[in-house]
Chain A
Amino acid sequence: MTDARPAPEEEVVKHFREHASGEPPAHLDAFILSAAHRETATPKYSFWQRWVQACQKPRWQVAFASLVGVALMLALVQRTPEHAPTYDSTPAPNTSSFAARKESAEAPASLARSMAAPAGAKPAPAPAAPMADFSAPAQSESINAEMADEAKVSKKTAAAPSKFIDDQLREVIRLQKAGQTKAADDLMTTLHKRFPKENLATRLKELQKN
């Protein structure tokens, strides 16, 4: 028969376990447990999970949106041609300056006015009218209106330059016949400047024959 009682030495150990005192203070327990909760590691996520979570945070949304915005701006700047179009170069294939296009725009108007004016009724103003229109654009018109008209005329000119030239040449002929040689010469000079590649003299002769 064996003795179930532990050895005398172990009895002392057991006695101490049962009757010793001493407990950590409650405030210390609370402090340590709260520290443990505070320091609890966040669960480990994969790279993409962490990326999605980060993007869901407002500050990251703002940062991400800013980054995208900057990238878009840079992309646009990179794609912009070096010589950005200004209103001076509004589509007008055969024009090179605002003044020239202004001339082309005003020319039909002056033509119409000179056509409408009775021959000889106002001999002096008639030849000056086209030149006056060239040198002094209508100041009452706004820049925007001018630009709109200019664009329209430019488009028409681009669509039918030969018709425009013919009309101008007919005006030259009319002025010559009316004895307004200087005005005719001025108009011809303007046409030469504007259409340097056109054989205006030959065309003028053809129209005179007709």
Chain B
Amino acid sequence: MSASEPSDESLLARYRSGDGPAFEILYARHRQGLYRFLLGLSGKSELAEEVYQDTWLSLIRSTSQPQGRANFRTWLYQIARNRLIDHWRKHGIRNPLHDSYDEQVHALSDDSADPEQLLSLSRDTQRLETALHTLPADQREVFLLRAHGDLDLPQIATLTETPLETVKSRLRYAQQKLRRLLAEEVLT
């Protein structure tokens, strides 16, 4: 987003004051990232679509604004994340984001990764999805928020209510594992 483009917050304020086209701009900016985040986190397109719709409708019908230090992007992804967790809770599904995970153990196998393999990561979308879903949920969430939400690490820490250092390590381990999995796929 260039400096001349209106910020998300100003677009939301314009929409709240009756400017319909402002919402279209806002929606176009975030539709793909939010959908991919939900699809990657839930693993089911039907559920992703349901939560995606609920998230936007909630935003449309709400009169609230991002609070405190949260910007629009953080706020949007927070709504979506809460909706997904609500869905899991409502259907008796244990929240996978609450699983404790020993990141140190899962990071050991990645020590020998060859940096040259970065040049040959698989571009096959099916393989990307499969690799993504081999990640533990909390690592996957951090990676998706970084990749598709374009959030920085402090924002992810705030959104997930997780210490910043934990977020950093989750992201690092997720990236290492994905790189290894995709490279392996290419090499075989």
Contacts and interface: CB of A to CB of B under 8 A. Distances in A.
Q: Is the interface of A mostly helix, strand, loop or mixed?
A: helix
Interface stretch (B56-64, B95-103, B157-165): B56-64
Q: Which 3 A-B pairs have the closest CB atoms?
A: A9-B175, A21-B125, A24-B35
Interface of A: 8-13, 15-17, 19-25, 28-29, 31-33, 35-37, 39-44
B146 A40 contact: no
Contact of B17 (A20, A37, A39, A41): A41
A158 to B, nearest CB: 73
A40 B18 contact: yes
A12 B121 contact: yes
Given A36-B20, A40-B23, 6 more contacts: A19-B128, A20-B40, A21-B128, A24-B31, A40-B15, A40-B18
Q: Is the interface of B mostly helix, strand, loop or mixed?
A: helix
A41 B125 CA distance: 41
Interface of B: 15-20, 23-24, 27, 31-32, 35-36, 39-40, 45, 48-49, 52-53, 56-57, 60-61, 115, 118, 121, 123, 125, 128-129, 132, 143, 146-148, 171-172, 175-176, 178-179, 182
Nearest to A19: B123
Given A23-B32, A28-B49, A35 B125 contact: no
B53 A28 contact: yes
Contacts of A10: 175
B131 to A, nearest CB: 9
B118 A11 contact: yes
Contacts of B147: 13, 16-17, 20
Contact of B31 (A9, A15, A29, A41): A29
A44 B16 CA distance: 10
Contacts of A21: 125, 128-129
Contacts, number: 103
A20 B178 contact: no
Contacts of B172: 9
Contacts of A28: 49, 52-53
Given A9-B172, A32-B27, A43-B18, A20 B36 contact: yes
Contacts of B171: 9
Given A16-B147, A28-B49, A41 B128 contact: no
Contacts of A13: 143, 146-147, 175
B125 A19 contact: yes
A35 B15 CA distance: 13
Contacts of A42: 18
Contacts of A40: 15, 18-20, 23
Given A32-B57, A41-B18, A44-B17, A24 B179 contact: no
A36 B60 CA distance: 6
Contacts of B118: 8, 11-12
Contacts of A39: 60-61
Contact of A24 (B40, B49, B178): B49
Nearest to B35: A24
A204 to B, nearest CB: 94
Among B17, B32, B60, B129, residue most surrounded by chain A Cβ atoms (within 10 Å): B60
A12 B15 contact: no
Nearest to B127: A19
